[in-house]
Chain A
Amino acid sequence: MSAVLERTPVAARTGPPGASWAAVLALALFEARRLLLRIPVLAAFALYVTWIVWRTPLLENGYPVLQDADRATQSGPLLIGLAVLVCVNQAVLRSRRRDTERHFAVLVLRPWQRTAAHALSAAPSALLVAVCVGAQYGWSALRPDAVGSGSPAELLVGPLTVLLAAAFGVLLARLFASVLAAPLTIVLLLFLSFGVAVPDASEERGVRWLLPVVSENAQQAIPSQLIDRPAAWHALYLLGLVLTLTLLAVLASGGRGRLLLGTVAGALALTLTSGITQTATLPDATTAARARATDAPQKEQTCVRRGGTTYCAFPEWMPRVGTWASVVDHVRSLTGGTVRERPLLVRQRVYATGGLTADGAIDPSATPGQVTVGTGWGGPRVPEFSAAVASVLVAGSERATVGVCDGRMVTTMWLALSWQPDPVKSLRAVRLDDSVTGSAIVLTPTNPLQMTAGQTYVVRQLLGKPRESVAAKVKAHWAELTAPNVTSAQAAELLGVKAPKEADKCD
């Protein structure tokens, strides 16, 4: 015989007080595993890792500057964030779609605790992204050619973006009980990001810092203390945003209590404070320091002497001196006359006045024997510097090379290119239009040089001949070859190659 229950059983908590949080953690772990095994998340991670492996070795021609390498880790995690947003959103709505919502009424977890567990379930994905970010940055940082220093706050942006996406996905699920809401919101956000120009994109600070990832259209690396991005405030802002969105989702699923409301207020205060602080105008001290670095870099730089050459650079770039010295020594060894022993000053100069995005030219230096080197290296930067060294050795100073359009260009370009492993490839790299015939602009760290079609013809012939035989002729005829107004035809004759048909004529 069965007994009849006369009273409805009263819900009673039987477990220890911490049991419900243990259950939240258990659910979070379970959901985290499911999230990581979802096909979109797996595909996003596969692509992300491929992107890291493919792009990182190419960063800044293989000579990374670490204050740029840290920012290079920020865009990849957006893809993971996208996948996590959609998948977390669907995970929150799963019980509604499967009609298992009412079964949860009998469990120890209340709806707001389940919401919290879903928000927590993205933590392992964010950790995995943090590992990938660390690997990507570490790859650059461990290269022997790396210079500069990265900022941990910039590295935190990637993992925080993933957490932010998850929090947003959970909040969306609690506000709109449809799996379509998240994809449509993403489409809307994509449209806004593609269609609208970012507000005040030209401003360095300002409202663009309210976006999760603030990228810079950087033209060149500048010393790390001149960058002055409010990276730490931005990381705090993202953290505040993650907390606020998560707690709002918890509130939306019925969480109440003084502690919760207090935390929401705290998170909101954190977001607002850091959000407003990061958009504040650039400190005057930074503007002054940038102007100083552009106009009078000698005050900020340290110098070292190697052979007959003095190298002055911003302290972060001092490890590069050896690389520069090998270029200078190679070019010097091919010269003749007294130039071989003439003292040279290689000074690093950078246009930092407008910060990272500034694209200003550096004026050629009027000081005799001073060569400018930029902040980048590798790829075309090597022949460009080589051309600058050669032109100063031939013409005397950078200012004196402006407008040179005679036979001295032949000597300059041969000195700059002949010692390189693949001179014709370097010729292509150093010319603005990537050509190896005809006339073209030759880039250097300061003023561009000009090569006529005839000079190119002579240089190509010289590059085709054995280096030692040409070097002997250059040394023997150094005075004639570097005399102002020597024509390309005369230079060709002195060096024993065919003279060009047309006379030297620059635009």
Chain B
Amino acid sequence: MRLTARESLVPVLRTLPWRALAAGGGLGLLLAGLLRWATGEFGGWPALTLLRTAALAYALTLTFVLDDPARHTVSTVPTRRALRTGLRLVLVTPATALWWMAVVLLVPSSLRPPVADVTLEAAAACAVALAAGALATRLTDEPRPGPSVAAAYLLTAVLTPLLPHRWALFVWPADKGWEAAHERWAWVLVGALVALALCMREPIRRRRAPIGRRPGTFAPSGGTPSGGV
């Protein structure tokens, strides 16, 4: 039996990692709130750094959103993977938008960097996180690639500020390159959304198992020797 979107809504809602999302989103809210109320007016902390940190923390939790422990069980049911993934995204997006609005509003308006541009950055960061999760699911057999994706995402995020000036993404509003950087952010967002759309389907034909992944070998601390953990 193929489930409709409405019938799948509640089960999908229950499988979403709400606690992780709350932790990641809570970090940004907590920082913004603490700074606002504890120090009066941010005590010299650049609001842009705060917003970027909040977006990064939240995006890290989004890398876990497409994890599906039941993946191998449900890959054969008629309800398509694209529908389940789509439902997850539909459920997460409004929550994300609400959370981002709250974080932005916590920053005093006099210190707030250009909201539209920073929102573009945050949207691109979130889209890249989701696309990375979808890509990992599409390319591997792993039901829960979240931790690996999060590690790779974090490493990328730490290295991005080191990009040469020509491709810089993290610039300051006073910088001449602010406009150009946000054009690049827009391209990142578009690229991530396209990748996400392309990776929605369950891979029908499995690629050949890589060498070394033989059934029956066990690792002392669980898992398969070469499986992504």
Contacts and interface: CB of A to CB of B under 8 A. Distances in A.
Interface of A: 26-27, 30-31, 34, 38-40, 43-44, 47, 79, 82-83, 86-87, 90-91, 93-95, 97-101, 103-104, 107, 114, 178-180, 183-184, 186-188, 190-191, 194-196
Interface stretch (B49-57, B97-105, B107-115, B191-199): B49-57
A30 B24 contact: no
A26 B219 CA distance: 12
Contacts of B148: 38-40, 90
Contacts of B150: 86, 179-180, 183
B155 A44 contact: yes
B13 interface: no
10 contacts: A27-B221, A30-B219, A43-B152, A86-B155, A91-B221, A99-B222, A188-B53, A191-B31, A195-B46, A195-B53
B151 A87 contact: yes
Given A27-B221, A184-B23, A191-B31, A94 B61 contact: no
A196 B31 CA distance: 13
B24 A90 contact: no
Nearest to B63: A183
Interface in B134-182: 144, 146-148, 150-152, 154-155, 158-159
Contacts of A38: 148, 151
A184 to B, nearest CB: 6
Contacts of A190: 53, 158
B106 interface: no
A96 to B, nearest CB: 9
Given A39-B148, A90-B147, A183-B151, A188 B27 contact: yes
A98 B219 CA distance: 12
B185 interface: no
Contact of A191 (B24, B50, B152, B223): B50
A97 B155 contact: no
A191 B49 contact: yes
B90 interface: no
Contacts of A30: 219-221
Given A27-B221, A47-B159, A94-B222, A82 B60 contact: no
Given A191-B49, A191-B50, A179 B223 contact: no
Contacts of B56: 187
Nearest to A23: B220
Contacts of A26: 220
A195 B50 CA distance: 8
A100 B57 contact: no
B146 A27 contact: no
A94 B60 contact: no
A312 to B, nearest CB: 42
Where chain A touches its partner, the secondary structure class is helix
Interface in B180-229: 219-223, 225, 228-229
Contacts of A79: 155, 158-159
Interface in B14-71: 20, 23-24, 27, 31, 45-46, 49-50, 53, 56-57, 60-61, 64
B158 A94 contact: no
B7 to A, nearest CB: 29
Interface residues of B, number: 34
B57 A187 contact: yes
Given A39-B148, A179-B146, A180-B150, A83 B155 contact: yes
Nearest to A194: B49
A95 B146 CA distance: 15
A47 B220 CA distance: 31
Contact of A187 (B20, B60, B144, B229): B60
Contacts of A98: 222-223, 229
Contacts of B154: 40, 82, 86, 183, 186-187
B221 A31 contact: yes
B53 A191 contact: yes
B221 A104 contact: yes
A180 B144 CA distance: 13
Given A39-B148, A95-B222, A183-B60, A82 B24 contact: no
Nearest to B224: A98
A107 B221 CA distance: 10
Contact of B155 (A40, A104, A107, A191): A40
B229 A97 contact: yes
Interface centre among B150, B225, B229 (most CB of A within 10 A): B229
Nearest to B27: A184
Nearest to B42: A195
Contacts of A31: 221
- For the complex of A and B, the 8 pairs showing the least CB-CB separation, nearest first, are A100-B222, A191-B53, A95-B222, A98-B222, A40-B151, A179-B147, A86-B151, A90-B147
A97 B144 contact: yes
Given A99-B222, A191-B31, 15 more contacts: A30-B219, A40-B148, A44-B155, A86-B151, A87-B151, A94-B229, A97-B147, A104-B221, A180-B60, A184-B27, A187-B53, A188-B31, A190-B53, A195-B49, A196-B45
A179 B20 CA distance: 10
A51 to B, nearest CB: 9
Nearest to A191: B53
A107 to B, nearest CB: 8
A39 B31 CA distance: 31
Contacts of A107: 220
B221 A100 contact: yes
Nearest to B161: A194
B64 A180 contact: yes
B129 to A, nearest CB: 11
Contacts of A178: 20, 23
Given A179-B147, A188-B27, A95 B221 contact: yes
Nearest to A104: B221
Nearest to B64: A180
Contact of B229 (A91, A103, A186, A196): A91
